[in-house]
Amino acid sequence: MPVDPSANGGYMVAAYVVTAVILVGYAVSLWRKTRRGRS
Amino acid sequence: MGDFLRVAIAVAAKDLRVERRSKTALVSAMAFAALVLMIFNFARDAAALSREMLGPSALWITFAFSGVIALNRSFALEREHGALDGLLLAPVSRGALFVGKYLANLTFVLTVEAVALPLFVLFFGVDLSGALGGIVVTAILATAGFVAVGTVFAAMTVRTRFAELMLPLLVLPFLLPPVIGGVQVTARLLAGRPMSEIMGWLRILALYDLVFVTLCLLLFPSLMDE
Amino acid sequence: MTTESLAARRTAVQGLGVIGLGLAGLAAVYVLALDHTPVERFQGLPQKIFYVHVPAAWCALLAFSLVGIASALYLWLRDPRLDLFAESTAEAGLVFSVVMLTTGPLWGKPVWGTWWTWDARLTLTLMLFFLFLGYRALRGALQDPSERARFSAVVGLLGMVLVPFVHLSVYLFRTLHPQPIVLKPSSPSLPWEMLRTLLLSVGVYTVLLFGFVMTRYGLGRLDRAGGGDDAR
């Protein structure tokens, strides 16, 4: 049966935040490694 | 071809002879199997889980863990005595070396399973009538597959520092199809289900064996390269 | 700086550019998914996790296949570039696996009432995670470069072959996951607005994968040329 559209929004937010943190976090770590690699 | 077999059997025989003399690994593995089965029985909530429901899982977990323990010792002896290099210096086919190791490991693990099965029947009060043959065939099929992969990984991890940890970590994903298949078939055989339900699982197990034993045989030489 | 480390650094920097592009795309996907895509009737808001979860699964599987193929090719050709490519792709695959494994339960809990189910797809994703982890652990434990390359290639190849078996076994076992509704031969069951968001997201994630691999590859090359940080 159809649910209230705004219910359980917290899970969605959590998932979107976690995804961004992981992907951006990895990108940043790669960026920092590239900078440090400068001789 | 005759050479190949001769080398393989010689390697296998040597491993098994060493094991037969010391017996430590075999006895430990069997004791381990018994303990696991015991714990399973006490860890179960008797009201919620019948022995019949838990049985097949307990059996196959015992098989899987004992198998991993057995595989750990597979190259341990060579490592301890630095004998691996000596083995490799000999002008023998690497494939034959693999088959020898594989057969030794297979014999070892099957022996542990052969001891675990009667214990299982005893502890879980299982009625094996009619199912014994099927369970034995399934055990052989499943074991043949994961021992092949385990032999290759044991050869690899013996060179690493945390071999006892690395081997289970690598091999556990490869245990999934044999164990899932094993549990499913065992549960169905014990419940007296018709063969038609079981054939699909047996086919997967057989295919797994075919693919992985062949692949491992082909890949083993590249592990021994210099 | 040697020409080799210069070239390596250039690759890494270009990779970073691709990543930047991908992250911009990701922001666009977020806006599209959250603001401009209809809310699904039966699952409500959590269904939108679909747009960050499915592309991650796709990329993890793609990465894993690439590692498998590169591994097989390495065992055949023994070209160290293939080994470095496999190492880089495995790392990216691990990252996407983590995304998959965190967003999956967050989607499952509100929609199916449980954090985890042992259905075919989730089990496979968990297994991929452990394979990536094992691959990485093995590489970390081996010092000799030739040994490291050969051994991890064997793991990569065997792992790739394992995937269909696990999928088949678990699928036979039980399935709770939503049935595939995108890749049907006839028209997909997804309404257009949802499909376009999904496809865009998949595209963006793939760009990110490409960027991650490229950057990591460059860093690895730099490391091997003796010019950089330990990127292992």
- Whether the per-residue pLDDT at B84 is higher than 70: the answer is no
| pLDDT(C179) > 60 | no
User: Residue C160 corresponds to which amino acid?
Assistant: M
Whether the CB of A28 is below 8 Å from some CB of chain C: the reply is no
**Which of C23, C43, C219 is the closest to A33 by Cβ?**
C219
Q: Decide if pLDDT at C67 tops 80.
A: yes
User: C141 and B184: CB-CB below 8 Å?
Assistant: no
Q: Does A16 touch chain C (CB under 8 A)?
A: yes
- HSE at residue B75, side-chain half, CA atoms within 13 A, is 23
In the structure, what pLDDT confidence band is assigned to residue C99 with cuts at 50, 70 and 90? very high
Q: Is the pLDDT of residue C118 over 70?
A: yes
State pLDDT tens for residues B19-71.
777 777 778 878 888 888 888 888 777 777 777 778 888 899 999 988 888 88
Confidence band of C76 (pLDDT split at 50, 70, 90): very high
Mutation choice for C interface testing from A16, A24, A28, A32 by most C CBs within 10 A: A16
pLDDT digit string (tens) for C6-41? 999 999 999 999 999 999 999 999 998 888 888 777
pLDDT tens, C137-158? 999 999 899 999 999 999 999 9
Residue C174's pLDDT is 64
How far from B88 is each of B73, B78, B92, C128, C174, CA to CA, in Å? 19, 11, 8, 34, 46
Per-residue pLDDT, averaged over C72-77, amounts to 96
Secondary structure (H, E, C), C66-113: HHHHHHHHHHHHCCHHHHHHHHHHHHHHHHHHHHHHHHHHHHHHHHHC
DSSP category for residue A2: P
pTM beyond 0.80: yes
Taking alpha carbons only, the member of C162, C145, C60, C129 closest to residue B152 is C162
Average pLDDT, chain C: 86
DSSP 8-state secondary structure symbol assigned to residue C40: B
Minimum CA–CA partner of C92 in chain A: A26
Per residue in B182-226, pLDDT (tens digit) is 998 998 888 888 888 788 889 999 999 999 999 999 999 988 876
Q: What is the tens place of the pLDDT at every residue in B152-191?
A: 998 888 878 887 888 889 999 999 999 989 998 998 888 8
Using a CB-CB distance cutoff of 8 angstroms, which residues of chain A are in contact with residue C228?
Answer: 33, 36-37, 39
Strand partners, C40: C44
C106 Cβ under 8 Å from any chain B Cβ: no
B80 band by pLDDT with thresholds 50, 70 and 90: low
State residue C148's pLDDT score.
Answer: 94
Chain A residue with Cα closest to C219: A34
Q: What is the pLDDT of residue B71?
A: 84
Which span out of A30-34, B169-173, C68-72 was modeled with the highest average pLDDT?
C68-72
Alpha carbon of B166: minimum distance to chain C alpha carbons (Å): 7
C220-232: pLDDT as tens digits = 999 888 754 444 4
Confidence band, pLDDT 50/70/90 cuts, at residue C186: very low
Which pLDDT value is given to residue A5?
58
C149 CB burial (10 A radius; 0-12, 13-18, 19+):
buried
Across chain A, mean pLDDT equals: 83
Kindly report, residue by residue over B99-152, the tens digit of the pLDDT.
Answer: 988 998 999 899 889 988 988 888 888 877 778 888 999 999 999 999 999 999
Percent of chain B with pLDDT over 90: 27
User: Which segments of chain B does DSSP mark as H helices, in order?
Assistant: 2-22, 24-43, 51-72, 76-80, 83-89, 94-124, 132-157, 163-190, 195-224
Distance CA C127, CA B172 (A): 9
Give residue C93's pLDDT band: very low, low, confident or very high (50, 70, 90).
very high
Sort out which chain B residues have CB atoms less than 8 A from C146's CB and list them.
225
